[in-house]
Structure 1
Amino acid sequence: MSTLQLPNQRLLKKMMTGGLLLTLAIMALFLFESKASAHGYVSNPSSRADLCAKGINTNCGLIIYEPYSLEAAKGFPAAGPADGKIASANGLFAPLDQQSATRWTKVNISPGPTTFDWKLKVPHATASWKYYITKQDWDPNAPLTRSSFDLTPFCNVPYKGQPSNTYSDTCNVPNRTGYQVILAVWEISDTGNAFYNVIDVNFTGSGNSDTTAPTAPTSAAASNVSTTSANITWNAATDNVGVTSYRLFNGSTQIGSTPALNYNLTGLTPNTAYNITVKAVDAAGNLSPASNTVSFTTLAVTGPDTQAPSAPTSLHVMGSSTSTTVPLMWNASTDNVGVTGYQVFKGTTLVTTVPGTATEYLVTGLTPNMAYSFTVKAVDAAGNISSASNVINVTTPNAPTTYPAWSASSVYVAGNKVTHNGVNYEAKWWTQGETPGAAGADVWKVIQ
């Protein structure tokens, strides 16, 4: 009779532990892939989150699965993520807020022209792209706060329209030395949110000295003007180094950007006058004079409107659901005349109709730990209704546990639980007056 040889207990324990860790990693991956709440991040120079996703930064937490998802209220510095939570866009990915002179990998950079490349998983209608940098004398061993930054952006690019899945800005980075942090902010135009990326950089040189702007593009012209679109073409500008892209403006408002010599304007309003100019940009960020002005009026709609809008696309959860709410967002539909509203459905039940200028809605009154499906349809003034958007399936989380509010005057001992600023904490030992979540308040640990 043969004898079955089992591994020794130590080896068996290692095998079981390794298998458990692998299972947890796979579960986390599926969890975050199914959230569908990802949007965009800076891929070059690589942001802190990007380097985490690539495995270059370590011990980053779950951001490795979601480098796209660093979103918070827009309006920085007056609004936006709280001090100490700027890198994590308000704490959902808390490990990103750890800050010291040696904690994060730095990307070498020089003052002067730098191109910032974004990867956009879910493009949105955009208001602006802004870039801030820390002060020369900031403290790299303290949490990132507004006082760490020069609060006037060194680069501010107004934008009207929706970019594609990639977008770039070439900006003149100010003079700095040593380790600095750049905060890149992508502000959405039709919601209250923005996306925040910090980039850890190390200044190594003085940059180039190209201060010569390109010549103005010439012979700009419009063709194929319809009720809601027009194609703009122009002749190339010249530059002492090289033109990298062209920006299109309606009056003083930027409405597009492209490296090509043509651009198809879409989403225009019927029977409306437009005055389009084109400017060239070089690698140093120098902007040319404007081209000749292209003036045209979109066509008016004639006859009865029987054409339905296109279906809304990319319906997704914008941020985090609560036990009773789900924030929905979608990409705008197009119509031959104009979208006047969006119908939001929970299953087959119409929840509400929002104006045609809105592309988001907070569904309320839901039940904790319950599965829901949502769709959105577009409506025009003639009552034509689009096909449904994609279906988004959401399960609301369990209702959160709350504890007595923390008080600066109360004495707490090990095991006492409190709630402060919406976060639950447990005391590790005796304490009084140490604010939960504050820098150096090691007595408190975050709990669920």
Structure 2
Amino acid sequence: MSTLSLPNSNLIKKALAGFLLATLAIMALFLFESKASAHGYVSNPSSRADLCAKGTNKNCGLIIYEPYSLEAAKGFPAAGPADGKIASANGLFAPLDEQSATRWTKVNISAGPTTFNWTLKVPHATASWKYYITKQNWDPNAPLTRASFDLTPFCNVAYKGQPSNSYSDTCNVPSRTGYQVILAVWEISDTGNAFYNVIDVNFSGGSGNADTTAPTAPASVSASNVASTSATLSWNAATDNVGVTNYRIFNGSTQIASTSALTYNLTGLASNTAYNITVKAVDAAGNVSPASNAASFTTQAVSGSDTQAPAAPTTLHVMGTSTSTTIPLMWNASTDNVAVTGYQVFKGSTLIATVSGSTVAYTVSGLTANTAYSFTVKAVDAAGNVSAASNVVNVTTPSAPAAYPAWNASTSYVGGSKVSYNNVNYEAKWWTQGETPGNADVWKVLP
């Protein structure tokens, strides 16, 4: 009788294991690409996350798929990412928090004027851009904490409005030597969040011949073509010892726009409203001129019945992290010939909420875990005109997290113990008692 010979079973097991690993890697790639809630990152000088995405920094973890998602609460240093988790914006991309003098690739830099370029995947209404730098004697082999940084930003740009997909600030970087870290913060105005990027830099020399001379004030600012919601501004060029790079436009004390030209068309103004416009010039070193003369005007009132619907809201997207029962939505404001007074939020074809015309975010609650939903938003004006629907956002809620016992300050826990605290699940790394989850290194967040 002949004997049937089977292939080596170990070889079969190895081949199957390799196939499964490859399949999981491909699935992970598509998962993170599809769930990325694209927002923004510093692309020049390249941030730590940007260099990870480019493959220059190694062993970075999942940030390589979405360098634009380093988001945490705004208000640094009083709020924001916890100490030790500043680079990862509170730990979701934990490898970024690994810190040593040799862990990360450095970008060469010099003190003085430096332009920071942001790439914005989804622009948002903005409150400010702030830049911090480590102290000269910081410890590069210890985790980044607030004590590592000079907590007064060396550059603080107030901003009102929504930037485009590319934004830049030119700032005077303080004098340092050797390896330092710059923390760039993009603060959103209509949510509680901000985006945090760290930039690893190496100073090649001293401050050099830094430009400290501000431009002259722009002259002869005037307004023309004043309509109910728009007006055209023009002015004479400012002068500078090196060169003017752009102009900032203010209504009263609030910056509402910027441009490199000598004219600007203001849009989205309120009808029958007084405006007091001034302009300031800025040079490449970030020096700002005195204010120009004021151009004052009042927009025209709208007469007759209003039959024009607002424009459809744009860029509806998920802003932040969804849970098994909630999805946070955000969109770009609509425009109207008079004014937008509200927004209607739809789940499928069902109206589920109406918010005010000054609100561009809404958190949908009461959802079911592991369920697919679609959302749209429409704008409404005072006359009851309703816009067309925004783009459709399709979202699937994550599975409900496992239920663990509530954390108790008087209970002793050992490594591997799992608890729930403030609706977040944690696992203990080692023995602990009385150390609050979320504020102690002994606890790690469970996915």
Q: Does 1:303 align with 2:304?
A: yes
Q: Deviations over 1:47-103 (max 9, x none)?
A: 111111111111111111111111122122222222222212222222212222222
Q: Distance in 1 between matches of 2:15 and 2:293?
A: 71
Change (3 A) 1:239 1:362: same
Q: Distance in 2 between matches of 1:210 and 1:276?
A: 28
Q: Distance in 1 between matches of 2:232 and 2:316?
A: 28
Q: Distance in 1 between matches of 2:266 and 2:378?
A: 24
Change (3 A) 1:427 1:119: closer
Q: Distance in 1 between matches of 2:66 and 2:180?
A: 24
Q: Distance in 2 between matches of 1:240 and 1:19?
A: 65
Q: Distance in 2 between matches of 1:239 and 1:181?
A: 31
Instruction: Name the SS for the 1:34 alignment partner.
Output: helix
Correspondence for 1:77: 77
Range moving further from structure 2, 143-152 or 156-165: 143-152
Question: What one-letter code is carried by the residue in structure 2 that aligns with 1:424?
Answer: Y
Q: Distance in 2 between matches of 1:19 and 1:234?
A: 66
Instruction: Name the SS for the 1:30 alignment partner.
Output: helix
Change (3 A) 1:12 1:155: farther
Contact 1:190–1:357 at 8 Å: present in 2 too? Answer: no
Mapping of 1:38-437 within 5 angstroms? 38-207=38-207, 208-405=209-406, 410-413=411-414, 415-419=416-420, 422-425=424-427, 427=429, 431-433=431-433
Change (3 A) 1:416 1:289: closer
Question: What one-letter code is carried by the residue in structure 1 that aligns with 2:62?
Answer: L
Change (3 A) 1:12 1:119: farther
Q: Distance in 2 between matches of 1:30 and 1:140?
A: 35
Contact 2:176–2:206 at 8 Å: present in 1 too? Answer: no
Instruction: Name the SS for the 2:35 alignment partner.
Output: coil
Question: What one-letter code is carried by the residue in structure 2 that aligns with 1:248?
Answer: I
Q: Distance in 1 between matches of 2:359 and 2:200?
A: 35
Question: What one-letter code is carried by the residue in structure 1 that aligns with 2:66?
Answer: E
How far did 1:137 drift? 2.4
Q: Deviations over 1:98-125 (max 9, x none)?
A: 2222221111222222111111111111
How far did 1:226 drift? 1.7
Question: What one-letter code is carried by the residue in structure 2 that aligns with 1:171?
Answer: C
Structure 2: 5+ residue stretches without partners: 1-5
Change (3 A) 1:407 1:264: same
Question: What one-letter code is carried by the residue in structure 2 that aligns with 1:152?
Answer: T
How far did 1:16 drift? 6.1
Q: Distance in 2 between matches of 1:19 and 1:53?
A: 26
Q: Distance in 1 between matches of 2:353 and 2:369?
A: 21
Range moving further from structure 2, 327-336 or 95-104: 95-104
Structure 1: 5+ residue stretches without partners: 1-5
Q: Distance in 1 between matches of 2:174 and 2:358?
A: 38
How far did 1:408 drift? 6.5
Question: What one-letter code is carried by the residue in structure 1 that aligns with 2:280?
Answer: K
How far did 1:222 drift? 2.1
Question: What one-letter code is carried by the residue in structure 1 that aligns with 2:426?
Answer: N
Aligned residues between the structures: 439
Instruction: Name the SS for the 2:183 alignment partner.
Output: strand
Correspondence for 1:3: none
Question: What one-letter code is carried by the residue in structure 1 that aligns with 2:314?
Answer: T
Instruction: Name the SS for the 1:206 alignment partner.
Output: coil
Identity across matched positions, percent? 79
When normalised by structure 2's length, the TM-score is: 0.90
Question: What one-letter code is carried by the residue in structure 2 that aligns with 1:170?
Answer: T
Instruction: Name the SS for the 1:274 alignment partner.
Output: strand
How far did 1:324 drift? 0.3
Range moving further from structure 2, 141-150 or 373-382: 141-150
Contact 2:378–2:389 at 8 Å: present in 1 too? Answer: yes
